[in-house]
Structure 1
Amino acid sequence: MVYDVNVKRIKVQLCYLAQCQEVLRQMDPQTSGLTEKFAAERALHLAVECMIDIGSVMIDGFIMRDPGGYSDIVEILLDEKVISADVAETLKKHVQLRERLVRYYDKVTWTEIRPMLGDMELYTSFSEQVESYLKQELGADWLA
């Protein structure tokens, strides 16, 4: 079967995800300043957006079932063996935080954000698993 996967978009999103990861890696979980909190919130929010955008592009391109929302995108990626159960579980927590950051941004506290700063492996694992799936489905030249 020939797939129409927007690999260019996926590559851009993977690069942006790496930038979000770098910002978060530089964050000190013990800080409590307003600027640091805003930076962490924005980087966490955009990291989730990147992963969900990548998932959406893959779902469309590989003609997987239609998602009903962000959490469903994670479930589809898990069901289709794009990502592992561990990555899916952690990503679901980040999706929940993303909703709070978007809808209830004035109520999000450092207490909610700090644990997410320790999830740096999520971004690396997600990227590696997506790249592995693309290589498996599209061949080694998907990077070209």
Structure 2
Amino acid sequence: MYYVNREQIEVRLQAIPDIASALQSLASNWQGTLLEGLAQERALHLAIETITDVGSYLIDGFILRDASSYEDIIEITGEAGAFPAAIQPLLIELVKLRKPIVQDYYSWPRTELHAMTRELPDQLREFGHSVEQYLEREL
């Protein structure tokens, strides 16, 4: 029997609508201000942390192989069927942004709208919905 921390997964999945909404709003109204740039950074960072946290809980709960990187978390959970294969490349691209956002923040181009800001909202919602279905199916 598996112990999957559904409570912690659900708490994180509940953040997805707000993150997706913020990204959509930023993409629709982009003016390139510092405040928008900082908001974009934070929304992308929250998306990364949400996806990797959920992935880590799935890996731990279903005793999947150990992940060696953020990209590996996406690959492992994708192989397990937690989300559609079609969104895996976008999720891998997303988690690759973690280092530039968190460690190299001083050189992040804050006045530019990142392409991921436009692409991510629908995929993020699909990820959340797919994980919920995965949990229903597997548990």
Tell me, yes or no, whether TM beats 0.5.
yes
TM-score when normalising by structure 2: 0.92
CA spacing shift, 1:18–1:129, aligned 2, 3 Å: same
CA spacing shift, 1:31–1:83, aligned 2, 3 Å: same
Please report the RMSD computed on the Cα atoms of aligned residues, expressed in angstroms.
1.5
CA spacing shift, 1:4–1:113, aligned 2, 3 Å: farther
**Alignment size in residue pairs:** 137
Instruction: Tell me the secondary structure at the aligned position of residue 15 of structure 2.
Output: helix
Instruction: Tell me the secondary structure at the aligned position of residue 26 of structure 2.
Output: coil
The amino acid that maps onto 2:99 is: E
**Which whole-Å deviations, capped at 9, do the CAs of 1:76-105 have from their partners, x for residues lacking one?**
011111122221100111111122101111
Q: Contact 1:78–1:84 at 8 Å: present in 2 too?
A: yes
> Which segments of 5 or more consecutive residues in structure 2 lack a partner in the other structure?
none
TM-superposed CA distance for 1:109, in Å, is 1.4
TM-score when normalising by structure 1: 0.89
The amino acid that maps onto 2:7 is: K
**Is the deviation greater in 53-62 or in 106-115?**
106-115
- Runs of 4+ in structure 1 off by over 6 angstroms are none
Instruction: Tell me the secondary structure at the aligned position of residue 65 of structure 1.
Output: coil
**Which whole-Å deviations, capped at 9, do the CAs of 1:14-49 have from their partners, x for residues lacking one?**
011222112112114532000000001001101110
Kindly report which structure 2 residues correspond to 1:12-27, keeping only aligned pairs within 5 A, or say none: 12-27=11-26
> Which segments of 5 or more consecutive residues in structure 1 lack a partner in the other structure?
139-144
Aligned to 1:121: 122
Kindly report which structure 2 residues correspond to 1:1-144, keeping only aligned pairs within 5 A, or say none: 2-28=1-27, 30-110=30-110, 113-119=113-119, 120-138=121-139
TM-superposed CA distance for 1:110, in Å, is 4.7
TM-superposed CA distance for 1:114, in Å, is 2.3
Instruction: Tell me the secondary structure at the aligned position of residue 27 of structure 1.
Output: helix
TM-superposed CA distance for 1:6, in Å, is 0.3
